[in-house]
Amino acid sequence: MIKTNRGCSSNGRALALHARGTGFDPPHLHGSVLRHQIMLISRLSRAGFFIAKELSRGGYTFLSRTRFRQGSCGQCQHSPLELLPETRAFQWAIFQKRHDFSTSASNNASEGGDGQKETISVTFVSKDGEEIPIQVPVGMSMLEAAHQNDIELEGACEASLACSTCHVIVMDMEYYNKLEDPSDEENDMLDLAFGLTETSRLGCQIIARPELDGIRLAIPAATRNFAVDGYVPKPH
């Protein structure tokens, strides 16, 4: 269950602002037995979630095809439901929380196109520190969601895992732990991300799921100073 590919100490990865009393090492590596148990429980509950997701796949296919807003990307499809009022989306989010997940998903599937659309609340924190709350349909990546809402998040390789320009920092460890572990390929790209932190991920790899409702994502600012860090003759 627990992948080993990122079982490495991350000493030095985190920024000072991310030190939260667990030191520099990720808790799942060096934490107490209790921590391990908590981790395991959260992982198991995630597995349960995935079963639910599989069961309600029909509903998801529908959801992922209807977009919240029309964006600039070519794959976007027009939907008569584009202008879903935010309040309604908000009520829907509350509805989700109160109901058993699989029930709400199947409800959704059976309701068909009556305008109900499952979204989660996501807050992006821009480079300037501005908080931008948006609603993201379940199944959509954070990169796509950012683009549809005119949030400045680069996506040079168009979500093909060949760059790290959509790097985001998950602002709460609790939400970071809800995400699946990054793949080797994502880790390869994160290696090259600017201002990498303990809770860094690629925006294109975070897909909206009900349990991520309320997630906050910071877009790292260009903190690197090229004047100092610039040219380093590279010995081989």
Residue ranges binding other proteins (CB under 8 A): 8-13, 154-158, 160-165, 184-185, 187-189, 191-192, 194, 196, 222, 224, 226-227, 230-236
Amino acid at 67: R
56 φ/ψ sector (left φ>0, alpha ψ -120 to 50, else beta) = alpha
Q: Within the chain, how many helices (H) and strands (E) appear?
A: 9, 5
- Closest CB 214 distance from other proteins, rounded Å: 29
Task: Count the neighbouring beta carbons within 10 Å of the beta carbon of residue 145.
Answer: 28
- Closest CB 95 distance from other proteins, rounded Å: 38
Residue (111 or 188) nearer to other proteins, CB: 188
Residue (8 or 55) nearer to other proteins, CB: 8
- Closest CB 136 distance from other proteins, rounded Å: 22
- Closest CB 49 distance from other proteins, rounded Å: 29
Task: For residues 46 and 179, give the distance between their C-alpha atoms in angstroms, rounded to a whole number.
Answer: 9
Residue (4 or 77) nearer to other proteins, CB: 4
Residue (82 or 158) nearer to other proteins, CB: 158
Residue (97 or 127) nearer to other proteins, CB: 127
| Sheet containing 167-170: order of strands | 131-137, 119-125, 215-218, 167-170, 200-202
109: buried, middle or exposed (CB in 10 Å: 19+, 13-18, 0-12)?
middle
